[in-house]
Structure 1
Amino acid sequence: MVMSRSESHQRRKRERSKRLRRLAVVNFVLLLAVGALAVVYALQRGDGGSGTPDKPDAAANANGGSADAGKGAGDAPAANGEGSQDGQSGQQAGDAGGTPSAGQAQDGAGGADAANGGEGGGNAAGGDGPGSGGKPDGGSPADGAAGTAAPGSGGSGAPAEAGVGAGSGADAANLSFTGDILLAASVEKLMLKNGYGYPYAKARNYLQLSDITAANLETPVTLRGTPAPNKQYVYKASPDALPALIDSGVDLVNLANNHTLDQGEVGLLDTIGYLNKVKLPNVGAGRNDAEAFKPVIKEANGIRVAYLGLTRVVPVGSWKAGPNHPGLAESYDPSRAVAAIKKAKAEADVVVVMVHWGTELADLPNADQKRLGHAYIDAGADLVVGSHPHVLQGFESYKGKWIAYSLGNFVFSGMPDKRTADTGVLDAACGAGGACSLAFHPMRAVQSQPAPLEGEEAAALLKRLAGISVHATVDANGLIHAKE
C-alpha cells in the first residue's frame, strides 16, 4: 500500500521515538550498573578491610544519581505592499473593547490599539537580523533524549526536572512548538530560489525529535480567492509548500489568526482542503463554529493530547465562524473557548491551547493575554502557547500550569526591529496527569531561516526571556522553572 507523505512522516517519527526510548532504557540500565559497581567498590573499602562501607551515604547517592541521570529532561519587499501596519482603515483587531458584530471592524480601529494588528515594516534586502548560522553542535539527536535538553547541544529530548505527573522520556508525551510560519511574500521567493525545505534546514532536528510538533500557520494556502479589502498585508501561499513543511517535522498547525481569511472564505476552505489532502491536522478554523472550536486529539506514548486553536485578533467580525458560515474560533468573549477546553479535558489527558493574541512588538503580555491565559487554565488547559506579537514574550507559571505568551516569528519575512529575528523551539514533556516541564531552544532567523544560537548569544537571549517571565525563570540551559 502506498503511504501519503504525512503517513510516512508520522511513521518515521514513531520509529525515531522508539529508537530514542530504547536508547534511554539502555542508558538507564548502564547507569544502574555503574551505580551497582560503585556500591560494591564502597563496600570493599571498609575500615580495616571489614567490609563495612566507608561512606554509605555516598554509595547510596551514587546509585540514586545514576538513576536520575537517565531522565529526560519582515523583510517585506515594497513590491508586495508590506509596510508598517496590518490593521489599517478600521480593520484593526482592537484590545480596547468588545467583540465586533458581523461585518463590522473591531474595536480600537483608528488608533486605540493600532499596534495590535500590524505586521511590521520591511527592508528590501531580506535580512532578518544578525545571528549564528551554524547547526547544533555536539552529539547526535538521540543524545538530547537521554538527558537534559540543553540549547545548542544538538538534542531536543524531553526537558529535565519534570514536575509531579509530568513524566519524562518514554513515559511522557514529548511536544514541540514554534511561533508564526509564513509561506508567502518574501519567504516564498526564498523557497522558490533555494527549495521549499530551505526555511527549516538548520532547525530540522529540533522539529523532528518530539512526538508531536505544532506551529501557527500564518497564511492561507490557496490558488484562488479575493484579497481582503483595506488590509495592509494580504498573503497567499502555494500548496506546493506543504510537503516540505510536513517533512520538516511539523505535525499540526493552528489556523486561528489574522491572516487565514486573507483570500476570503474561498481561501479558508481551500486551506483546510489542502491540509486535509496532505493529512496535516489543523485547528482553530472550520466550515462552521462547531468545526472551528473542535480539538484535534493525538496520542503519544499512551497519552492523549488535545489541541485547540483560538484567536483574539480578528480583522473584521465576519471572519468569526458561525453556525452556518466558515471562519475562525475567536476568543474575545472566552465563554465559548472555556466550554471547548472543558469538553476537551474530558476527552484527553493533556489540553494544549494555541492562541493568537497580544500587542505587536511588545515584550510583555497585555492585560487581555493574562486574563484569557488564566481563564483557559482555570477551565482545564495544561499548556497555553501564544503567537502574534512577532517577538518573544516570557513564560508564566500559573497554578502549576504554563503559559508561553508568545513564541514570536519562526519562519517569517524579516522586519526592521531586530527582536523579531529572535525565535526558538519550545519543548514540553507532559505526563498523563497533565503536568508539563518545559525547555526552550534559542534561535535566530537570518533570511527567514532560523538557526540555533550558541555561547554568549544564546545566554543573552535566555537571560532576556528570564527577565520578562512571570513567576518563572529560564536557566542557562533553557530549562524553565517556576518561582514565587
Structure 2
Amino acid sequence: MSRLTLALSGDCMATRGALITSAPAAEELHGLLHSADFAFTNLEVVPATGRGHPVHNAASGGGLIADAGVVDEITRAGFTVLGCANNHALDLGTEGVLGTTDLLTAKGIPHAGIGADLTAARRPVYVDRPGGSLAVISCSSTFLPGQEAAAPSPDLPGRPGLNPLRYTATLHVTPAQLDVLREIDGDTGLRARRAEARTLLGFDPAMPGPDRLTLFGTRFQAADTPGFTTACDPKDLDDIARWVAEARRRADLVLVSVHSHEPGPTPDTPGEFLREFAHRMIDEGADVVVGHGPHLLRGLELHHGKPIFYSLGNIVSQIELADHIPAEDYAKVTAPGAPHPTPGHYFATLSANGRRLFAPHRRYWQSLLPVLTFDAGTLTTIDLHPIDLGHGHPVHHRGRPRLADAPLTKEILTDFAALSEGYGTRIEVGGTGVVELPTSCPKPLHTTDVAGNPAARVAG
C-alpha cells in the first residue's frame, strides 16, 4: 500500500442541485474532495425511486425524501463512498430502502449500512484504488422499532433495513427513590394491569429483581448515587466488531461510521454507549471512527493514536428545500379546513419563519472536513478544513458547503478545541500547525486553514 488520503464528512441532506456553488471557497472544497482517494459522507435522505410508502417517522419528526437525482449531485460534488444507516434511511419503508440499495448499486456507488437482511446491512463495502483499499461499515443507534434489518429464519426471508447499534438506558436512583416509584406503580393501578402478564410468564416483567424496576418504558436501578447511563447491546457490539475484524483482514484502511442522535450529559457529548462502541471498534482494527447525527460538532478523541470524531455535523443541509412531504407531516402545520399547504409553507410554519429549529443556531451551519493521510497504513497527517454552510443566508442559499474564511475558521477550530479537551486532546488554535500524536504514532499530524496555512496544534 502506498500513500492514501481519506476525506470525512457528516450528514449529507441534499434535496436540490448544484451542491458545490461557483464561489471560490466552494470550488476549493470541490478540489479537496476530488483529490482524495476516498471521500466519505452519510447519506441522510431517501432518493425516491417509486418504491415504498411514507412511514410515521417519530424518530426524526418528519420525512426526508428527495428526487433520485440527488445521488448524482452528491457524486458530482466529489463524494465516492456513502454510509446509509441513519434514522431517515427507511422514510419510505422497507421497499424504499431496497429502492435505495438498487439505485446506488446500479450507479456503481459504494455504500454500506442498509440491505435486504441483517448480514447485507452489517457487512463492509470495499472500495479499491490503485494505491490501496478502504472498507466502510455503517451503523445507526437512532431508528424506529422494525427499521433494523433482521436475519432470515429457516422459514422466512430476512427483513430489509439498517445496521442497528442498539443500547440500553438506565436511570440510577436511590433505594428510597425506588420505593417511591414502586408506590406509584401500585397506587396508580399499573401493577394490577400486569396481572395477565404475571400469570402467563410466572413473574412480573416490570420487576425483574429486588433492586430494579421498569416503569413508563424506563429502566430504574437502585444505586448509591442518582444518575443516567447507557450501554451498548452486547450482541450488536460483538456482531459489528466481528465485521470490523473481517474488514481488517481484507482492506488497507477500515472506516466505521455511526449515526447517533443520543446525547451524553450535554448536547456536546455523546452517549456513554457511543464511546464504548468507538473504543471497541478501534480495538478490533478500525483506523478511524466517524460519527454524525446531532447536526453539530462534537470533539475528537485519539484512542491508541487513532481518531474518533464523535460528530462532524453536517456537510449539506437542504432539509427546508425538500418537495416530498408526507401527509402526516403536512397535518402538523395545517389548521382544520385550511387549504393544503405547499412545501415552502410547511417548512416556514414548522420553523416559525426561521426563528426556531435549526435556522437560528450558528453551530448547525458549521462543520469540519478532516482529510486523513496514511503512509503504508500509518496515519501521518490530519488536515481539518472548517466548513461554512451559510448561517443567516436565505433558505435557498444556505446549506451548501464552502471552506470557511479566516475568522470563521478560527471560531470553528476554537470551538472544536474546547469540545476535544475532555478526551485529553489538546488543540492550540493558531499554533505551529503540528499535531502531536501519542508516542505509539511517531509521525506528526497537522491542520490547515482555508488558505492552507497552519491553523492549529493538537496533542493527544
TM norm. shorter chain > 0.5: yes
By how many angstroms is 1:348 displaced?
1.5
Q: Distance in 2 between matches of 1:241 and 1:397?
A: 34
Give 1:352's aligned amino acid. L
By how many angstroms is 1:302 displaced?
2.9
- The answer to whether the 8 Å contact 2:117/2:149 transfers is no
Question: What runs of 5+ residues in structure 1 fail to find an aligned partner?
Answer: 1-166
Q: Is 1:472–2:448 an aligned residue pair?
A: no
- Secondary structure class of the residue paired with 2:389: strand
Higher share in strand: 2
- Secondary structure class of the residue paired with 1:178: coil
Q: 2:14 aligns with which of 173, 183, 190?
A: 183
- Secondary structure class of the residue paired with 1:397: strand
- The answer to whether the 8 Å contact 2:142/2:262 transfers is no
Aligned-pair identity in percent equals: 27
1:95-244 mapped onto 2 (5 Å cutoff): 171-184=2-15, 188=16, 191=17, 195=18, 198=21, 201-202=26-27, 203-224=29-50, 225-231=52-58, 232-244=61-73
- The answer to whether the 8 Å contact 1:353/1:383 transfers is yes
By how many angstroms is 1:287 displaced?
0.9
- The answer to whether the 8 Å contact 1:180/1:410 transfers is yes
- The answer to whether the 8 Å contact 2:268/2:297 transfers is yes
Q: Give the corresponding residue for 2:443.
A: none
Give 1:471's aligned amino acid. G
Change (3 A) 1:458 1:336: same
Give 1:382's aligned amino acid. D
Q: Is 1:327–2:161 an aligned residue pair?
A: yes
Q: Stretches of 4+ moved more than 6 A in 1?
A: none
Q: Give the corresponding residue for 2:322.
A: none
Q: Give the corresponding residue for 2:383.
A: 439
Normalization by structure 2: what TM-score?
0.63
Q: Distance in 1 between matches of 2:259 and 2:48?
A: 21
By how many angstroms is 1:460 displaced?
1.7
Question: Mean Cα displacement is larger for which, 311-320 or 173-182?
Answer: 311-320
Q: Give the corresponding residue for 1:407.
A: 312
By how many angstroms is 1:303 displaced?
2.5
By how many angstroms is 1:196 displaced?
6.2
By how many angstroms is 1:291 displaced?
1.2
By how many angstroms is 1:256 displaced?
0.7
Q: 2:400 aligns with which of 439, 449, 452?
A: 449
Bigger relative contact order (CA 8 A; separation at least 6): 1
1:320-469 mapped onto 2 (5 Å cutoff): 320-323=149-152, 324-332=158-166, 333=233, 334-359=237-262, 362-412=267-317, 413=319, 414-435=358-379, 437-446=381-390, 447-469=398-420
Question: What runs of 5+ residues in structure 2 fail to find an aligned partner?
Answer: 153-157, 167-232, 320-357, 391-397, 434-445, 448-455
Q: Is 1:294–2:123 an aligned residue pair?
A: yes
Higher share in helix: 1
Change (3 A) 1:399 1:481: farther
Change (3 A) 1:242 1:319: same
Q: Give the corresponding residue for 1:258.
A: 87
- The answer to whether the 8 Å contact 2:134/2:251 transfers is yes
Normalization by structure 1: what TM-score?
0.60
Q: Distance in 2 between matches of 1:431 and 1:369?
A: 29
Aligned residue pairs, count: 307
By how many angstroms is 1:320 displaced?
3.0
By how many angstroms is 1:278 displaced?
1.5
Q: Distance in 2 between matches of 1:321 and 1:434?
A: 36
Change (3 A) 1:320 1:288: closer
Two-structure CA RMSD over aligned residues (Å): 2.3
Give 1:368's aligned amino acid. F
- Secondary structure class of the residue paired with 1:270: helix
